[in-house]
A and B are shown apart, each in its own frame.
Chain A
Amino acid sequence: MNRDENTPGISPMEEMSPPCQVACPLHTDVRGYVAAIARGDFEAAYAIAREPNPLIYVCSHVCAHPCEEECRRGQVDEPVAIAALKRFAAERHDLSLGHGPPKPNVEPKEQKVAIIGAGPAGLTAAYDLARMGYPVTVFEALPEPGGMLRVGLPKYRLPREIIDVDIKGILEADVEIKTNVCIGRDMTLSDLKEQGYEAIFIAIGAQQSRALRIEGMDLDGVLLGVDFLRDVNQGRAVKLGRRVLVIGGGNVAVDVARSAVRQGRPGSEKEVHMICLESREEMPAHEWEIIEAQREGIILHPSLGPKRILGRDGKVVGLETIVCSSVFDSEGRFNPTFVPDSESVIEGDTIILAIGQASDLSFLRPEDGIELTRRRTIKVDPQTLATTAPGIFAGGEVTTGPGSVVGSMALGRRAAISIDTYLRGEDLTGLQFGEWRELDDLPPKTVERIKPLAREPMPMLPLEERAFNYEEVELGYTLAMAMRAAHRCLTCGGGAYVDTGKCAACLTCVRVCPYDVPIIKEGAAFIDPTECQACGVCASECPAKAITMKLYSEDQLYQEIDALFADAPAENPEPLIVGFCCLYCAYAADEWAESVRAQLPPNVRTLDVVCTSRIDIQHLLRAFELGADGVFVAGCVGDECRHTEKAANRIQGKVQFVKEVLDQVGIGSERLSLYDIPSAEWGTVPRIAQEMTERIRALGPNPL
Chain B
Amino acid sequence: MIIAEQKPLDEIKSMIADYQKVLILGCGTCVTICFAGGEKEVGILASALRMATRLDGQDKEFIEATVQRQCEYEFNEEVADLVKEADVVLSLACGIGVQTMNEQFPEKLTLPGLNTKFLGQPTEQGVWDERCLACGDCVLYKTGGICPIARCSKSLLNGPCGGSQNGKCEINPEVDCAWQLIYDRLKALGKLDLMMEVKSPKDWSASHAGGPGKIVREDLRL
Direct contact of A and B (CB under 8 A): yes
Q: List residues of A whose CB falls within 8 A of some B CB.
A: 502, 504-508, 511-512, 542-545, 616-618, 621-622, 624-625, 653, 661, 664-667, 703-704
User: Which A residues lie within 8 Å of B44 (CB)?
Assistant: 617-618, 621, 661
Say which residue of B9, B47, B55 sits within 8 Å of A621 (CB atoms): B47
Provide the bound-state CA to CA distance between A618 and B46, in Å: 10
Is the CB of B125 closer than 8 A to any CB of chain A? yes
Establish whether residues B55 and A666, one from each chain, have CB atoms under 8 Å apart when the complex forms: yes
Q: How many residues of B contact A (CB 8 A)?
A: 25
A-B CB contact pairs (8 Å), 15 listed: A504-B38, A506-B32, A507-B122, A512-B125, A542-B40, A544-B28, A544-B38, A545-B39, A616-B40, A625-B50, A664-B9, A664-B10, A664-B48, A665-B9, A665-B48
Provide the bound-state CA to CA distance between A666 and B33, in Å: 28
Establish whether residues B48 and A504, one from each chain, have CB atoms under 8 Å apart when the complex forms: no
User: Which A residues lie within 8 Å of B33 (CB)?
Assistant: 504-506, 543
Q: A508-B125, A544-B38, A618-B47 are in contact. Are A665 and B52 (CB under 8 A)?
A: yes
Q: Nearest-CB distance from A665 to chain B (Å)?
A: 4
Q: A543-B35, A621-B44, A665-B9 are in contact. Are A504 and B52 (CB under 8 A)?
A: no
Establish whether residues B48 and A661, one from each chain, have CB atoms under 8 Å apart when the complex forms: yes
6 smallest A-B Cβ distances: which pairs? A543-B38, A506-B33, A664-B9, A621-B47, A545-B39, A665-B52
A542, closest chain B residue (CB): B40
Establish whether residues B32 and A622, one from each chain, have CB atoms under 8 Å apart when the complex forms: no
A664, closest chain B residue (CB): B9
Provide the bound-state CA to CA distance between A666 and B35, in Å: 23
0 or 1 for each of B34-70: is its CB under 8 Å from A? (1 = yes): 0100111101100110111011000000000010000
Q: A504-B29, A511-B125, A664-B8 are in contact. Are A544 and B39 (CB under 8 A)?
A: yes
Q: Could you say which of A508, A512, A543, A704 has the most chain B C-beta atoms within 10 Å of its C-beta?
A: A543
Q: A543-B33, A543-B40, A665-B51 are in contact. Are A502 and B9 (CB under 8 A)?
A: no
Provide the bound-state CA to CA distance between A618 and B41, in Å: 9
User: Which A residues lie within 8 Å of B52 (CB)?
Assistant: 664-666
Main secondary structure of the interface of B (DSSP, over half): helix
User: Which B residues lie within 8 Å of A704 (CB)?
Assistant: 51, 54-55
Establish whether residues B51 and A544, one from each chain, have CB atoms under 8 Å apart when the complex forms: no
Q: Nearest-CB distance from B46 to chain A (Å)?
A: 9
Establish whether residues B32 and A544, one from each chain, have CB atoms under 8 Å apart when the complex forms: yes
Q: Could you say which of A504, A616, A625, A666 has the most chain B C-beta atoms within 10 Å of its C-beta?
A: A504
Establish whether residues B28 and A622, one from each chain, have CB atoms under 8 Å apart when the complex forms: no
Provide the bound-state CA to CA distance between A505 and B28, in Å: 10
B9, closest chain A residue (CB): A664
User: Which A residues lie within 8 Å of B28 (CB)?
Assistant: 502, 504, 544
Provide the bound-state CA to CA distance between A625 and B52, in Å: 10
0 or 1 for each of B110-122: is its CB under 8 Å from A? (1 = yes): 0000000000001
User: Which B residues lie within 8 Å of A621 (CB)?
Assistant: 44, 47-48, 51
Q: Nearest-CB distance from B102 to chain A (Å)?
A: 24
Provide the bound-state CA to CA distance between A511 and B124, in Å: 9
Provide the bound-state CA to CA distance between A625 and B48, in Å: 8
Provide the bound-state CA to CA distance between A551 and B99, in Å: 41
Interface residues of B in 124-154 (CB under 8 A from A): 125-126
Say which residue of A511, A624, A653 sits within 8 Å of B51 (CB atoms): A624
A505-B33, A617-B44 known, 10 other contacts, Cβ within 8 Å: A502-B39, A504-B38, A507-B122, A508-B125, A618-B44, A621-B44, A653-B126, A664-B10, A665-B9, A667-B51
Provide the bound-state CA to CA distance between A621 and B47, in Å: 7
Q: Nearest-CB distance from B132 to chain A (Å)?
A: 19
Q: A504-B32, A508-B125, A704-B55 are in contact. Are A545 and B40 (CB under 8 A)?
A: yes
Provide the bound-state CA to CA distance between A504 and B30, in Å: 8
Interface residues of B in 50-93 (CB under 8 A from A): 50-52, 54-55, 66
User: Which B residues lie within 8 Å of A542 (CB)?
Assistant: 40
Establish whether residues A667 and B55, one from each chain, have CB atoms under 8 Å apart when the complex forms: yes
Q: Nearest-CB distance from B78 to chain A (Å)?
A: 13
Provide the bound-state CA to CA distance between A108 and B196, in Å: 96
Provide the bound-state CA to CA distance between A664 and B51, in Å: 10
User: Which A residues lie within 8 Å of B39 (CB)?
Assistant: 502, 543-545
Q: Nearest-CB distance from A337 to chain B (Å)?
A: 65
User: Which A residues lie within 8 Å of B55 (CB)?
Assistant: 665-667, 703-704
Provide the bound-state CA to CA distance between A665 and B12, in Å: 11
Provide the bound-state CA to CA distance between A557 and B22, in Å: 26
User: Which A residues lie within 8 Å of B47 (CB)?
Assistant: 618, 621-622, 625
Provide the bound-state CA to CA distance between A451 and B185, in Å: 43
Q: Could you say which of B29, B51, B52 has the most chain A C-beta atoms within 10 Å of its C-beta?
A: B51
Provide the bound-state CA to CA distance between A622 and B41, in Å: 14
Provide the bound-state CA to CA distance between A428 and B28, in Å: 52
User: Which A residues lie within 8 Å of B54 (CB)?
Assistant: 704
Q: Nearest-CB distance from A77 to chain B (Å)?
A: 32
Provide the bound-state CA to CA distance between A507 and B9, in Å: 28
User: Which A residues lie within 8 Å of B9 (CB)?
Assistant: 661, 664-665
Q: Nearest-CB distance from A588 to chain B (Å)?
A: 29
User: Which B residues lie within 8 Å of A543 (CB)?
Assistant: 32-33, 35, 38-41
User: Which B residues lie within 8 Å of A622 (CB)?
Assistant: 47
Q: Nearest-CB distance from A621 to chain B (Å)?
A: 4
User: Which B residues lie within 8 Å of A703 (CB)?
Assistant: 55
User: Which A residues lie within 8 Å of B38 (CB)?
Assistant: 504, 543-545
Provide the bound-state CA to CA distance between A591 and B112, in Å: 53
Q: Nearest-CB distance from B6 to chain A (Å)?
A: 10
Q: Could you say which of A664, A667, A704 has the most chain B C-beta atoms within 10 Å of its C-beta?
A: A664
Q: Could you say which of B39, B40, B66 has the most chain A C-beta atoms within 10 Å of its C-beta?
A: B40
User: Which B residues lie within 8 Å of A653 (CB)?
Assistant: 126
